[in-house]
Structure 1
Amino acid sequence: TTWKPSKRSITTVPDGTFPTPAGLGPEIERAEVGTTISTADWYGQDWLPMPYPPSGVSIRGNWRYEPVGMTLVGDHGQDTRGMTYEVRSLDVRPTAEQLAGAPEPLAALKREFTQLPDSLPDVVHRTAREVTEGSASDYDRAVKLQDWFAVSGGFEYDTQVDVGSGSRAIARFLRDKQGFCVHYSFAMASMARSLGIPARVAVGFAPGTPQADGTVAVGLRDAHAWPELYFEGIGWTRFEPTPTRGSIPSYTQPDTEENALPDPARPSEAASAAPSAAPSASDGCTLERIRLDGGCPTESAEAVIAAGGDGPRWYTVLLWALGGLAVLLVPLTPMLWRLRTRAVRLGAHGRSEADAAPHVLAVWDELTDTAWDHGVSPDESLTPRKAAARVVRLGRLDEEAAASVHRVADAVEQVLYAPRPRPVAGLADDVRRVITGLRASSGRGARLRAVFAPRSTVRVVWQASAWWAGVRRRALALRPTWRRPSRQQG
């Protein structure tokens, strides 16, 4: 009925070099790549984004190691907000001949990664056999499945489809041939398992956008899912069945000069691995400024203070006035900050494709923060759809407000998975209906706290903490290193 992460034991992060990836033999060509990764202050996840397979990582904080997936998991509340870390990874380069000649995998691994539920529709296995008929190896079957989804099967990439849930959802996807990366990856992995090929689904990010300074920008629009199939001697190997997304691996294409193109999923050897130290020169109100600063500055007239007369000095009056204003404003600061943040988020227009994504994500942030203010704490490990269902359930929203929550969540999924997100009208009004619904379902005390002491203002503390940590890192980097003079033998 669903795919979900397997329950795995975690251990301490290995010192130095990580273990060799499962199944990778010494005869497979590989190169080690170094990557420096910086995450935005608003990107808080438990799982650390890393190129696969990693061979080492240098990072501060509380992290644990999951050896099967070779991933790092945050411990004791550790997440990815505002992190800068270095990863060494292997660029594994198998050939088609090596994949086609791969021996049978170990029985225990094959048994675990070919399991399928009894409720899986027969059409899945039947279609897999038809598509791969005449194949001489598991590699040939895998390539035929990939090409059928991505090229020859008549499938279309569409983030607006709803194939439903449960055991029949995959059958509807194979029938209608419309969906996004989640559908393609889950379908190919299920079909591969039905043919006896060990398979799993990876969730992460597709290659980002190269920048002028040599870095690569990876955003939420690059969120992606893809299947990985296991070949003994090579290990877990990426395939790309989703049309127009990701990149077709070179080892699944004919070895000709015409197809000898660089794989954008691999870091460029000529590109700098260092993060950009300078902000963008754009003066526009960007998504980063909305998320990190709470909005964009506006112009205001300068105040001119006149002096003269026999009364108190003008600066004395000013100091008393400022002191009195501070006494009034300090208790109201959380409320004023939330009102300003809400006005900025809901005031974005999102009328063009260029600003559709910032508008939708800002509106979603406002919805989840408002729910947090009313006692529904955020769970950023959930998908937008599941997060919306949680807000509706815990917030005890009526039918109209619940529909508004789901409309905003649908728009977020379109932003995350659609190659060209389309503007969606009325999202700000949807959030206002949700705010009204949350207030109606809350008690008087909860309503007052949501206004005067909103829980989501803790984000200001997080931002200040991240800023101070950055200042300390820069200060330590500038500290001189003292060395002893060498001793001379006389």
Structure 2
Amino acid sequence: IGALALGIALVVPLALPALDGGLLDGNGGPGGDGSGGGGTISAVNPLVALQDSLNQPEDREVLSYRTNAETTDDLYLRIVSLDQFDGTTWKTTVRRIEDVRTPLPDPRGLSPDVRRAEIQTNLTAAQNYVQNWLPMPFPASQVKIDGRWRYEPVGRSLVGDRGQTTRGARYQVKSLVVAPTAQQLAAAPAPPDGLRREFTKVPDSLPRMVEDTARQVTKGAANPYEQAVKLQDYFASDGGFSYNTQVRAGSGPSAIERFLKQKEGFCVHFSFAMASMARTLGIPARVAVGFTPGTAQSDGSMSVGLRDAHAWPELYFEGVGWTRFEPTPRRGTVPEYARPDTPSGGASDPDTPEPATSSEPSAAPSASDTCPPDLRKQGGCESAAPQIAAGSGGAGPPVGTIVGLTLAALLLIVVPLLPLLWRTRVRAARLGARGRTEADAAARTLAAWLEVTDTAWDHGIAPDESQTPRKAAERIVR
């Protein structure tokens, strides 16, 4: 039995090279046949690598970068897109690859009417970060890198050819920051038939519950964009889901159904489920795998570690192209165009700041500002606050009224501050300098731990009494 098991363990990986789990921290999919104008890339499965990366005891750095972007909140480093869904998992389709052009072709479906800006990012991969796919901001418009790299146009990804990897790579990427408005996404026309057919395929084995839940969640939505936002909000905030990297990733047609019932998982579950549900609604969807923006360093650079590994859904809207959404709670950032307050046309809309600031204030003050001096002396052009003008000529209000108003104002100021004052008092008592003998160590340690958990609660991390202090501390750090 041992010899047979060993033989299977050695032979099966050779027969199934597409099941490579090193998409994030090991060797990725193979990179083509080495010919000048063709080649193919193989499908990869990121499940094992992504979950292992998130659960690493040490957050090992894999990338560092500098960028001239105004903010890095939305600067996800995308590795590859998974666009083939067979009911068991999502994986990349085997596609043709080509030479890297300078500049890269324009993103598919992006209209000139959509606001965009080009940024530049200089990246350095760690020596121990070895895989075949190149992490880049999406969508890249130009890439400068040494070595044997090829371009996959459908997913807009770069893949190493003939053993080329990211080990120690230094490269420069120019990419577009695409900023569509909610109105542009809501008014997007139907996608091309070929693209829609390819990216809305769902297997017959997909449980009926997936589509039923999608239609129930998006009930009342007027267009695919509103459906996408409702799906995102269902997973991120409204549906009662919780983020847990220890949950088994699972496979098979029932994996998504099980996740929708248990409502617990990590980014793979959330992105796979949202992309599958979007496809059942006729919205072209795929899953992107890569890294969130990372952590800012004191020297101005950004550091990306294994625990920044992430997966997110991309949905296609004609005129905008492939568009990122963020359904995973407590991970990454929700794009501006996918936030609930964007359809209101407020200041968060990049295309409509002027009407919101110029049209409101012009009407109210005009009556008093344009009142002639002679009419003002005769009591004309009454303002909206006549009581203030009438009180200016008498002896003033009684002392009791002044005292009462003063006390009322103080009360209005102090009452909302009571929780803050109480919290400050508790913190000072816990972290006070008294009780420094060895006999007081237990009480002092407990007081400090209570302050840590309460501070975490102040930031929205509710305490979980079922966890040990070590596990609770790791949860707070995450």
Give the TM-score, by structure 2 length: 0.54
Which of 179, 196, 215 lines up with 2:282 in the alignment?
196
* Structure in which a larger fraction of residues adopt strand: 2
* Separation in 2, partners of 1:165, 1:92: 34
* Separation in 1, partners of 2:249, 2:155: 29
Deviations 1:68-105 (A, max 9, x none): 11111000100000011100000000000000000000
Please say if 1:133 is aligned against 2:219.
yes
1:213 deviates by 1.4
Please say if 1:155 is aligned against 2:241.
yes
User: 1:419–1:216: structure 2 CA closer, same or farther, 3 Å change rule?
Assistant: farther
Match of 1:249?
335
Match of 1:6?
93
Deviations 1:233-273 (A, max 9, x none): 000000000000010010012137999499xxxxxxxxxxx
Match of 2:117?
31
Please say if 1:74 is aligned against 2:160.
yes
Structure 1: gaps (5+ residues): 263-414, 423-490
Answer with 1 or 2: which has the greater Rg: 2
Classify the secondary structure of the residue corresponding to 1:159. coil
Match of 1:233?
319
* Separation in 2, partners of 1:179, 1:261: 32
* Separation in 1, partners of 2:345, 2:114: 22
**How many aligned residue pairs are there?**
267
Are the counterparts in 2 of residues 163 and 172 from structure 1 also a CA contact under 8 Å? Answer: no
Match of 1:213?
299
Which amino acid counterpart does residue 144 of structure 1 have in structure 2? K
* Separation in 2, partners of 1:419, 1:209: 17
Which amino acid counterpart does residue 177 of structure 2 have in structure 1? D
Please say if 1:105 is aligned against 2:158.
no
Are the counterparts in 2 of residues 150 and 243 from structure 1 also a CA contact under 8 Å? Answer: yes
Structure 2: gaps (5+ residues): 1-87, 351-470
Which amino acid counterpart does residue 81 of structure 1 have in structure 2? R
Which amino acid counterpart does residue 104 of structure 2 have in structure 1? F
* Separation in 2, partners of 1:13, 1:420: 43
Match of 2:108?
22
Aligned counterparts, 1:215-364, within 5 A: 215-253=301-339, 254-255=341-342, 260=348
* Separation in 1, partners of 2:268, 2:250: 13
CA RMSD of aligned residues (A): 2.0
Classify the secondary structure of the residue corresponding to 1:97. helix
Deviations 1:388-437 (A, max 9, x none): xxxxxxxxxxxxxxxxxxxxxxxxxxx9xx97679xxxxxxxxxxxxxxx
* Separation in 2, partners of 1:4, 1:160: 22
1:164 deviates by 2.9
Match of 2:145?
59
Match of 2:374?
none
Classify the secondary structure of the residue corresponding to 1:229. strand
Deviations 1:166-201 (A, max 9, x none): 111110000000000000000000000000000000
* Structure in which a larger fraction of residues adopt helix: 1
Aligned counterparts, 1:371-450, within 5 A: none
More relative contact order, 1 or 2 (CA 8 Å, 6+ apart): 2
Are the counterparts in 1 of residues 274 and 327 from structure 2 also a CA contact under 8 Å? Answer: yes
Match of 1:114?
200
* Separation in 2, partners of 1:26, 1:260: 21
Which amino acid counterpart does residue 91 of structure 2 have in structure 1? K
Percent pairwise identity: 61
1:162 deviates by 2.3
